[in-house]
Structure 1
């Protein structure tokens, strides 16, 4: 393995961590909204559907 392969692997790993943190931040924000507003934008339905699919 050369240095570029290791660097590419690290970039991929850091990108996944960043994506996970952004998703968690978004979920927290959406869950902090009033229930009627979440229902209007479809948040509970979209979130539960995604959890059932295993993503």
Structure 2
């Protein structure tokens, strides 16, 4: 959802040129592809940190 909103705001100047949808879609895809590896690495680390802090698990 964050990528959707951020790329939509970044693509806003393209409305006047008529290329908003293609620019937004390309930007959104690039954002997902670039962030996905970080999410896969960070999620388990954050989960372990929460378990240690809360004593669960």
Tell me the TM-score range normalised by the shorter chain: 0.3 to 0.5
TM-score by length of 2: 0.40
TM-score by length of 1: 0.41
Structure number with higher relative contact order (C-alpha < 8 Å, ≥ 6 residues apart): 2
